[in-house]
Amino acid sequence: MPSLCYTWLSHAGFAELVRLKILKKRSVVRVSALVSMSCALCLMLLACGKDFYIAGRSLPPSGILNRVMFAEQNPSALPFVDAYYDVRHNTSGTVAQFSISGFSGTLPVAIQNMPDQQTGAISSANSSSLILVNYAQEKVSQTLTIPGGYANSVFVSHDLNYLYAANDANHVVSIYDSPAKGSYVLNLPNVDSISVNPGGTIALAFIKNSDQAASQSTQNGTPNGDFSVYSVVKLTQSQSLAAANNPHYTYTGPNGVTNTAEDCEPQNLPGYCLFPVSTASGAKFDHPVKAVFSSDGSTIYVLDCGPECGGTEAGITAIPITAPSLNTGNVGASGINLTATSFTPIPDGVTDALFNGNTMYLAGQKCSGTYTTGAGCSGLFAGYLTAYDTSSNSITGTYSISDGDHEKMLLADENTLWIGSNDCNQGVRYAAATSGQNIPYGCLTMFNTSNGAVTVDSYKGNATGIAAVTNFNKVYTAEGGQVYIYSTANMAQLDNTNVTVAGTVTDVAYIDGETDANNTDY
């Protein structure tokens, strides 16, 4: 295994040696001092008997400290590159290209990046498996079978104990419970997507193209109206016995509120149930698509797509997480009595969101023409970023960004927020460009959170992946199936000659990120 001494010299040390190549006497002294320092560092590591770099992580077999991994189709592979030098080979040239060993997935499309756990979860198109990759060993560590078959939306909890998935073709929610060694398939017609909080205690399933009015609940075990959002709940032993042979098990919480399950499985002795999320008088759901979670874990914010998805009003619906709303003393998904309490309109649309302190950035689109409730949009959609202050519950700014369906957001160096979208060539920017205006219409936007400056990329295709190479002022992206590199200073495109691929790249991940926040899929 390459030592940290070698890797340090090959990165920062090598660069410094090249800079000091002029053999003046004082330069020789500085070079000697640099070599002495590196050797001393090597001796310290030898004394410890370990090779590591940050946060106690083991030095990987490749010896590369700053790796960006690609989900590449045709051929199906998981190559990774050295994001310090922006090359696919090692510094000595003995390895032409690095890749994750043991990967044989079909058409990888998305990477759930978990640097803290030194693990990545790879989902593939038309596959009923989720493949786990060990970053430290640079190889596949486990293949998880999705119980209900191929899932269009799948997540694994950060402790790697629970898998939650939504299958829009089979209309089921799937769960794999590793501690219990159990697989569960719950019926939920028209389920489309699923969101899971980092702790794995909340797992929400969303019904496609649905609305839920205010004051809809299951009072006294009687459903009242249709529901748009459901919560996956792992039952306690006593609840499991009470729900035996009763798929519509009714649970009464400590505050006297009742909730009736949509389905509980397996029916003879259920391990999991799906409970609808109720709405209070001041809340509603309008075509909800996903959820984001406050950093303190106290609130769920459901993103309501509204007109962009054929609905009436875009916004965010808040669901507080309180003791009575959780299956206390339980592990895994526990949101048993969740109730939405408020709805805040977001006039410029929302399909994705990301927290930065108390500010929640919301990306979406609004109709640039006229809009009549139920009649659709008479014009084209325009992309906007909305800054929302959760401490004051107020919108603090709106900014014009790339058009399209926004599904990727990531914070990077130099106070930048990067936003990716699909189908940006179908909005107002493209129409303006084709009419002769000098306006960029690409699917990637860089937003400066300190001064509000917006930079839109030239068109390269759908922006399906973003990886922030933190502390190096650069961002890797997957656009139009190819890999690009940008400077966070001004969005200047950097040389990507030595990282391009022959196949189609759908996602990128900085697997040596400092935290799990370096992840555009959640």
3-state SS, residue 176: strand
- Predicted local distance difference test score (pLDDT) of residue 6: 39
Q: Is the dihedral of CA 51, 52, 58, 61 positive or negative?
A: negative
Give the span between the Cα atoms of 356 and 255, in whole angstroms. Answer: 34
- Predicted local distance difference test score (pLDDT) of residue 132: 97
Average pLDDT over residues 275-293: 96
Q: How confident is the model at residue 104 (pLDDT cuts 50, 70, 90)?
A: confident
Q: Which residue has the higher pLDDT, 274 or 329?
A: 274
Nearest to 481 by CA among 501, 510, 452: 501
Give the span between the Cα atoms of 99 and 503, in whole angstroms. Answer: 14
Nearest to 443 by CA among 452, 456, 453, 431: 456
The answer, yes or no, to whether residue 254 has pLDDT greater than 90, is no
Nearest to 308 by CA among 264, 368, 251, 266: 368
If 0-12 CB within 10 Å is exposed, 13-18 middle and 19+ buried, where does residue 76 land? middle
3-state SS, residue 43: helix
The answer, yes or no, to whether residue 20 has pLDDT greater than 80, is no
The answer, yes or no, to whether residue 35 has pLDDT greater than 50, is no
CB atoms within 10 A of CB 329: 7
Q: Which CATH class is domain 66-143+352-522?
A: mainly beta
> For residue 22, what are the contacts with CB-CB under 8 A and spacing of at least 6?
none
Counting runs of H as helices and runs of E as strands, what totals does the chain give? 5, 41
DSSP state of 92: T
Give the tokens for residue 177: 């419970």
Average pLDDT over residues 254-265: 88
Q: Which residue has the higher pLDDT, 51 or 238?
A: 238
3-state SS, residue 60: coil
> For residue 212, what are the contacts with CB-CB under 8 A and spacing of at least 6?
225, 226, 227, 228, 229, 279, 284, 285
Question: Which pairing describes strands 278-279 and 339-340: parallel, antiparallel, or unpaired?
Answer: parallel
- Predicted local distance difference test score (pLDDT) of residue 4: 41
Give the span between the Cα atoms of 96 and 468, in whole angstroms. Answer: 24
Cis peptide before 147, with omega less than 30 degrees from 0? no
Contact call for residues 205 and 288 (beta carbons, < 8 A): no
> Mean pLDDT score of the chain, rounded to an integer?
88
List the beta bridge partners of residue 467.
Answer: 476
Contact call for residues 124 and 105 (beta carbons, < 8 A): yes
Q: How confident is the model at residue 223 (pLDDT cuts 50, 70, 90)?
A: low
- Predicted local distance difference test score (pLDDT) of residue 46: 40
3-state SS, residue 80: strand
